[in-house]
Every structure is written in structure tokens, then in C-alpha cells.
Amino acid sequence: MLTTKKLQTRFFLLLMTLLVVVVAPVFAEEAQTSSAQNPEQAPLVTLTPVADQGSVLVQGMDSENDKGGSIDLSWEIRDPVISANATKIQIFRKAESDAEFTEVKHMDISALKYADKKEVQDNIKYSYILNFLDKDNRKVYQSGVMGPFVAYPQWFNTSKFATLFFAFITIAIVLLFIQLAKQGKKFYVRPLGGIKAIEDAVGRATEMGKPCVYVPGISMIEDIATLASISILSKISEVIANYQSRIVIPNYDPIVYSVIDEVVKSAYVKAGRPDAYRSEDVYYLTGRQFAYASGIAGLMAREKPAANFFLGWFMAESLILAEAGSMTGAIQIAGTDSISQIPFFIVACDYTLIGEELYAAAAYMGQDVRLLGGLKGQDYVKLFLMLTLIVLFILKLCGVPGIDTILVGGN
């Protein structure tokens, strides 16, 4: 049986092999293209039929990395007389079955290229003629008949290959750490202040004889922040059941309400206190944003809770909730992945889980090996990406070709 150390070593060697095999050809291809396009090193490479190379170089080809229905045309004026007078260009096209050419585009000549997508059909041969005009629309030069060119779709968008490669690396690393977690390997997760304060907040509520209010946000059940909130709620409910305290959970969405009702009930059963569960404390409030916020503000004003938890996805109601809870003197623990609402929680709450800390808290409190393995795997993915970006940045500074292809998906 492979040990953890051997498994990590083999995985590292596999990653390095893939990096060399996959990325090296990209460097080589970019270097060849750069050399071919430099007139001082080699003549201009033409991949398609060319007309009038003496005065004007015109070339065309099927558009790369598309779904079809497009032909790229480009031109380079070499005659200084034509260059000085021509300001516009007329593009005429004729399909294989057509009797004569028809105009498809009249444009400024400075563009130097044109992607013909006007009713272009795949696997049909098209020919083109280009007229170069002066500012008074008088013909300065006419190209010969170019083509035929054929448009067709590509199976793969090669400009997105770097995305595919790094997606594979991400999945592989996360799956590796999930497997290691299943094998019993312990991972260190940085303690979060908000998590450590939860038990203290529940204890304070018990001593004061006051309830806790838990707000799971205003999103739907499929939202990742809502799922993380429900996972945290499961553990908070166990703590509250053990302390024989009370938790009130008003819900925004009826489906979320149904799930939370079962989660809280199961937590009380797990804690050995099924009789302490109060179904009337877990209820559907309303599906209107500010009516929901007003209802919770009224609840906090009446009940004077000792602890408030705002964990999930929030919008403009976040400040209303946090301020209303702060006025009651309760300990407030908040967490959201909504970037625009984080500042309000930081100002008005005692502890705030920022962004991904909400997901980390769900994994940390749940102690599910799959969640912990995925959490640690994502940390190593970020480390791998940071190191990769640093290496690519250094290579870019050194003038190594092909870096732009990897970073921005160029061709």
C-alpha cells in the first residue's frame, strides 16, 4: 500500500511531467510564429491563397477557434502610391453557387483586417475581391479574385487550453487532499475568531436567559453561502441544545425554511435533547427583502436576544439587521461572501467571517473529511497558482516567448 509521502511524491512528479509536456510546445509554437512574422528574420508566411503580392498583399483564412460561419481577411499595402491615396475598402464576395460578386462590407482601410460573418455558411467555398478607394470613393486599386476559402467550426478552442490545464490541476489537487483526509491525515486549519466566539455567545445567552437569533440570509437553497450557513447552523444548534438555551430562526425562503427546520431538529436529537426543540422558533417570515429585515428588527427589539448570528448571503438589509441588533446590546457574529456588504458587518458586528472564511467555518465546524480535504486542497491550489504566476512573470521579463499565450489565451 502506498504511503502518504510516496503518494505526494508521485503526484508531484506527475504534475511536473504534465507541465513540461503541455506547456513546452506552446513556447515552441510561439517562438516559431514570432520568427515567421519578423521580416528581418524570415519572409512573411502565408497560410492561404494570396493575390497581388507586388502592390498589396491580401490573404484570407477560416477564423480560428470559433463555431464556424466566419472567414478572416487581411491586407497589407506595399505600394507607397496606393498607401498614400487609399482610405477605404470595399469587400465583395461570391459563393460557389453564385453568378456574380456582391458587396458585403464598406469600411475604413486602417483596420487592416475584417472577419466576414455575414451569412457565411460552413463548408461552402467563397471567393473575394477587394477594391481600395480614395476619400472621394474613386477606385485606386482592385485585387484579383481570392479564394476559395471555406469556413468550418473547430472542435476545440485552443486559446482556452491554459484554462483547461489549470482546471485539471485544480481538480487533481483537491481530489488528492480529499483522499488524504479520508485516509486519516490531519490538516491544520487556522482558528477563526468568529468560530471561537460562538460557544461564548451561546453561554452568555444561557446565563442571561435570553434567546439567540440566527439569520441565514436571503438567498436560495442552491446558493453556496446558504449551504455553508446551514452547515454552521447544525453545529450551533447542537451547542444551544447542550446548553439548554433557545434559538430563533426567521427564514426568507420557504425551501430554506424546510431544510433548516429538519437540520435544527436533527441537531437537538443528536445532542440528546429532542424534547427541547421548539418548532415555533423556526418559521418562514416573508419573501420580501425589507419586510424581512423589518420583521427581524422587530423580533430583536421585542426579544432582546443575547447573541445574533448573521451568516449567509445578504444585500442592502445587512446594515439594518446589524444596527438593530447592535442597539439591543447583543454579541453579533456575521459572515457573508457578498463583498459589498462585508464593510457593514465589520463596523456593526463583534466578529465577521469574510468571504471564504464562511466556507472554511462550515468545513471546520462540520469536521467532514471531504470538506476539510477540499478546503486544504484549495489552499494548495492557490499556492500553486501564485508560484506559477511568479515564474511566468519572471520568464516574461526575460523575454521568453509564449508567456502571453498562457496568461491571456492568445493564439
Same domain, 113 and 166: no
Q: How far is CA 314 from the centre of its chain?
A: 20
137: domain CATH number?
2.60.40.10
Q: Would you tell me how many other CB atoms lie within 10 Å of the CB of residue 397?
A: 9
- Is 45 part of any domain? no
As given in the structure block, the three cell numbers for residue 59 are 490573404
173 φ/ψ angles, rounded to the nearest 5 degrees = -65, -45
Same domain, 246 and 293: yes
- Is 298 part of any domain? yes
Please, which residues bridge with residue 91 across strands? 105, 130
Distance between start and end Cα atoms, the chain = 44
pLDDT for 32 = 37
> Is the pTM for the entire model greater than 0.75?
no
Q: Residues 159, 160, 163, 169: is their CA dihedral positive or negative? A: negative
Strands (E), 2-152: 50-51, 56-62, 71-77, 88-95, 102-108, 113-116, 125-133, 139-142, 146-150
- Is 224 part of any domain? yes
Same domain, 222 and 316: yes
Same domain, 274 and 139: no
- Is 132 part of any domain? yes
Residue with cell 486519516: 184
Same domain, 182 and 226: no
Same domain, 285 and 212: yes
Same domain, 75 and 163: no
Same domain, 204 and 344: yes
Q: Would you tell me how many other CB atoms lie within 10 Å of the CB of residue 216?
A: 28
> Any idea what DSSP says for residue 221?
T
213: domain CATH number?
3.40.50
pLDDT for 28 = 40
As given in the structure block, the three cell numbers for residue 46 are 502565408
With beta carbons less than 8 A apart as the criterion, state whether 211 and 302 touch: no
- Is 410 part of any domain? no
* pLDDT string in tens for the chain (411-residue length): 455 555 555 555 555 555 544 444 444 444 333 333 332 332 332 333 444 445 788 888 888 888 888 888 888 888 888 888 888 888 999 888 888 898 888 888 887 888 888 888 888 899 998 888 888 888 888 888 888 888 888 888 777 787 888 889 999 999 999 999 888 888 887 777 788 888 888 888 989 999 999 999 999 999 999 999 999 999 999 999 998 889 999 999 999 999 999 999 999 999 899 989 999 999 999 999 999 999 999 999 999 999 999 999 999 999 999 999 999 999 999 999 999 999 999 999 999 999 888 888 888 887 778 888 888 888 899 998 899 889 988 988 888 887 776 666 555
Burial class (CB in 10 A: 0-12, 13-18, 19+), 248: buried
Give the separation between CA 37 and CA 385, rounded to whole angstroms.
32
With beta carbons less than 8 A apart as the criterion, state whether 402 and 411 touch: no
- Is 88 part of any domain? yes
Same domain, 233 and 247: yes
Q: How far is CA 70 from the centre of its chain?
A: 29
Q: Residue 128 is part of which domain span?
A: 50-150
pLDDT for 191 = 78
Give me the number of domains the chain comprises.
3
Same domain, 345 and 205: yes
With beta carbons less than 8 A apart as the criterion, state whether 118 and 105 touch: yes
Burial class (CB in 10 A: 0-12, 13-18, 19+), 183: middle
Same domain, 363 and 386: no
- Is 411 part of any domain? no
pLDDT for 410 = 52
- Is 172 part of any domain? yes
pLDDT for 50 = 42
Same domain, 175 and 253: no
Tallying the residues shown for the chain, one arrives at 411
Identity at 82, one-letter amino acid code = I
